[in-house]
Amino acid sequence: MKIEITKKWCLRMAEIEANAEIGAGLYALDPVFDGETMPANETSEEPSIAFGRFVRLMRRDRGLTLEKLAEDTDVEVAELVEIEEDTHHKPELRTVYQLANYFKVPRGNLLQVAGLTAPRDNRLIDEAVRFAARSESVAVLTPEERAALEAFVAVLSEEK
């Protein structure tokens, strides 16, 4: 339906409304964000080797330092270090979002690989394990590592 609203009306009401909060309805309530967001039974306590390895290889493949990746993704460098070094580290949701956007892979898939959501796609998890096994770190990115990385990215990029 077409609604006729004059410019004058819009601007007068914008002036009256000013910086008012306007949220209404139960759906407008913000979800809690403090790392306790996901119920415990929906997240995996399994170490997430593949996620840290994935971040490290994607970073190295682009020739980025941790500092540069932190800057580009607006994620704290300390968290990136933990992601790459500590397989038990549970990254913040926002961090996974930022990394998924940056590396251009679907967020839902990366959340599963990071262990933040319950695994829904067994093939993805199998591939993550295979990737972790094939991509053991050495100083430079070898052709094998690159092949492993590319194969995993291909699976990770599949939209359901």
Partner 1 sequence: MTITVSPIFLFNAERGEPEAAELWDGITDQQLGDWEGEWVPELFKAVQKLHRAGVERRHWPQSRHWNWRKKTEALQGMLAHPGFSIVCNGMTQGMMIVDTTMKRCRIEEQKGKNLVYVEFVENAPWNRPELAQPPLYRGIGSILIRAAIALSQELEFKGRIGLHSLPQANSFYANTCGMSDLGMDPDHQDLRYFEMTSEQAEAFIAKGNQP
CB neighbour list of residue 153: distance below 8 Å, 6 or more residues apart: 58, 103, 105
Q: How far is the CB of 72 from partner 1 (least distance, A)?
A: 14
Does 11 sit near partner 1 (CB under 8 A)? Answer: yes
98 makes contact with partner 1 (CB under 8 A): yes
101 touches partner 1 by CB under 8 A:
yes
Return the range that interacts with partner 1 (CB under 8 A); candidates 52-60, 64-72, 94-102, 136-144: 94-102
Instruction: Please work out, in degrees rounded to the nearest 5, the angle formed at the alpha carbon of residue 48 by the alpha carbons of 99 and 31.
Output: 55
In angstroms, what is the minimal distance from the CB of 106 to partner 1?
A: 11
Using CB under 8 A, pick the residue from 48, 112, 117, 135 that binds partner 1. 117
Whole-number minimum distance, CB 112 to partner 1, in Å? 12
Residue of 97, 102, 130, 101 whose CA lies nearest to 114: 97
Output 6 or 122, the one with its CB closest to partner 1.
6
By CB under 8 A, residue 33 contacts partner 1: yes
First to last CA, the chain: 34
d(C-alpha 143, C-alpha 79), whole Å: 28
Nearer to partner 1, 16 or 138 (CB): 16
| CB environment 109-130: b (16+ within 10 A), e (fewer) | bbbbbbbbbeeebeebbebbee
Contacts with partner 1, residue ranges (CB under 8 A)? 1-34, 37-39, 74, 92-94, 97-98, 101, 107, 117
